[in-house]
Chain A
């Protein structure tokens, strides 16, 4: 029985228990990831980070959550009250919905019932995640618009333009996975990675997805929607108390969601690392969840590492990168992948496949070098004149020290 049939046989109470488990897992992961991010960033910046509340400061985010909830709830006078209240609710609910199709374990027994830890299995599961993400953008746009002030509006527009642009690249990076797995259902995709992870087979797709998932979640270095030097807090400038907490929650649940999707699509989901396949039967199959969680935490660590390392990009550079680099590259890659796939299905000879691959590489190299030289020529034509004589005193240029060393 495959995952879809197992899920179809679930009685009502199993569905309820699974729903509750997924929800609890999301909330706990969020609390832990806020704490983990603060500790990790502190470590990278040679600070200590939160270490007071609970052992190692583990309960810090819980304390912060309680503090946020007890703060005064302000609604600005110029705000559109209904939309202002609805926006955080949209953000917080949609981000949880993506977890419904994420497979977290292989075959396990839940209170004596054979099932898999995946709430539902849709034939178009991955598209469902994209659809949910596109509804989630409404939360940000509406928050920005309804606040009735300039910074949130600009932040909201920025972030929605960003999410929409990077969703295109993200959607295109998934096409290669669909072609290789022969399915759009998350459980089938994980099953198809039994031997080789798609991160290895479809490495360019993996890179494109990894970049666009950072853009999609509005995280550093792509956190232009809340660039504090330019836009105060961005779309949530006017939000306080629980409404702000909902946005905060949504951001972290979203990170875990895109990390889970990346795990599912490219890192073999709940499958063990190569060579450790025997661990998949430990604890009656529940040990696969450990592998799933470890991979999600790995992606989360990358998110934090990026934030601790890279400065924020400029908005036009960011958009240019998305539209002029990521999207064309993924389109080209899809064409290459589908041609190779058709070739292998028709049992084309190895020399032809090799020839095709080499030809594509050569064409790409030729085109990029043409682009580069055209750009250099344009730059040289525009280059400004020679260095004029400085109008105020500058220190003399030191003599070359070669003679001294020789002497």
Chain B
């Protein structure tokens, strides 16, 4: 048993230092990911786990895989995930009510089964054995070796997966697509329309609210030079909600008393 342990612990010193520094951190953040109350914190811890996995890959001579892991998973996938979390605002803890009957028990059983399977497989594959064929695989360089495998032996699988991804992307586009009846009005069209409209009075844009009034809040209509309020100077939404203050209430009253 002791011999076995020594055999397993036999790695080069820098790699061992790296492992004993990063592995506990990765495990802790994995636990933290499960325990964290806020979804964004969980997502961040997951991103950190991916980065530490990438560092392990690099330490194990799979340089390209490590870098691609960071670019694709941490950079793109996790970032999209964070986007959705932030936009949808899934901050509060999810409700723990079971919607499907027996789901919890089934998922716990499946998780234990998967963990057992993985443990036995990884244990049988790795424990006490040194890596075989690594130098052979990396003989022409890590990237070149990987490229050769991808484009000769696994080219079919590679193409099938890319077809799957393209189908998924197309599906998402079809689902999100809506047909436009006429082309979108852009800034240029709006500008042309202002000049070709019935009146040139608004060619330079709508008047701002509260101009000439004593109050410059957004809910007070501006006063025109003749003293009448300009209805286009406040937002139609405020007007519809009734959140509009009569600008006449702020008009200066002629001070007749002082003259007497």
Contacts and interface: CB of A to CB of B under 8 A. Distances in A.
A122 B196 contact: no
Contact of B141 (A83, A123, A388): A123
B146 to A, nearest CB: 10
- Most chain-A Cβ atoms within 10 A of its Cβ — which of B71, B74, B189, B196? B71
Given A127-B68, A138-B47, A157 B87 contact: yes
A184 B71 contact: no
Given A141-B79, A141-B82, A124 B71 contact: no
Contacts of A112: none
Interface in B51-69: 51, 54, 63-64, 67-68
A135 B68 CA distance: 12
Nearest to A375: B183
A145 B196 contact: no
Nearest to A133: B75
A314 B82 CA distance: 25
B70 interface: yes
B196 A388 contact: yes
B198 A388 contact: yes
A379 B184 CA distance: 10
B163 interface: no
B42 to A, nearest CB: 12
A164 interface: yes
Contacts of B76: 134, 164
Contact of B63 (A124, A134, A388): A124
B70 A135 contact: yes
B40 A379 contact: no
Contacts of A130: 71, 75
Max count, chain B CB within 10 A of own CB: residue among A127, A153, A156, A378: A127
B83 A378 contact: no
Contacts of A127: 64, 67-68, 71
Contact of B70 (A134, A314, A382, A392): A134
A137 B198 contact: no
A142 B63 contact: no
A71 B79 CA distance: 32
A392 B71 contact: no
Contacts of B90: none
B71 to A, nearest CB: 5
Say whether chain A's binding surface is mostly helix, strand, loop, or mixed.
Answer: helix
Contacts of A157: 83, 86-87
Interface residues of B, number: 36
A169 to B, nearest CB: 14
A134 B72 CA distance: 9
Nearest to A142: B44
A34 B51 CA distance: 32
A392 B198 CA distance: 10
A321 B200 CA distance: 33
B69 to A, nearest CB: 9
B166 interface: no
A384 B192 contact: yes
B142 interface: yes
B126 to A, nearest CB: 26
A287 interface: no
Interface string B159-202: 00000000000000000000000110001010011001111110
A145 B86 CA distance: 7
A391 B40 contact: no
Given A382-B183, A388-B196, A134 B79 contact: yes
Given A80-B38, A123-B143, A153 B71 contact: no
Contacts of B196: 384-388
Nearest to B54: A131
A166 to B, nearest CB: 13
B200 A131 contact: no
A160 interface: yes
Contacts of A352: none
Contact of B75 (A83, A137, A378, A388): A137
Interface of B: 38, 40-41, 44, 47, 51, 54, 63-64, 67-68, 70-71, 74-76, 79, 82-83, 86-87, 141-143, 182-183, 187, 189, 192-193, 196-201
8 contacts: A123-B142, A131-B70, A135-B70, A137-B79, A157-B87, A161-B83, A167-B75, A385-B196
Q: 7 nearest interchain CB pairs?
A: A134-B75, A131-B70, A127-B67, A131-B71, A145-B86, A391-B199, A131-B67
Interface of A: 80, 82-83, 122-124, 127-128, 130-131, 134-135, 137-138, 141-142, 145, 153, 156-157, 160-161, 164, 167, 184, 314, 378-379, 382, 384-388, 390-392, 394
Given A134-B71, A391-B198, 14 more contacts: A83-B44, A123-B63, A124-B143, A127-B67, A138-B44, A138-B47, A142-B44, A157-B83, A382-B183, A384-B192, A384-B196, A388-B197, A390-B200, A391-B200
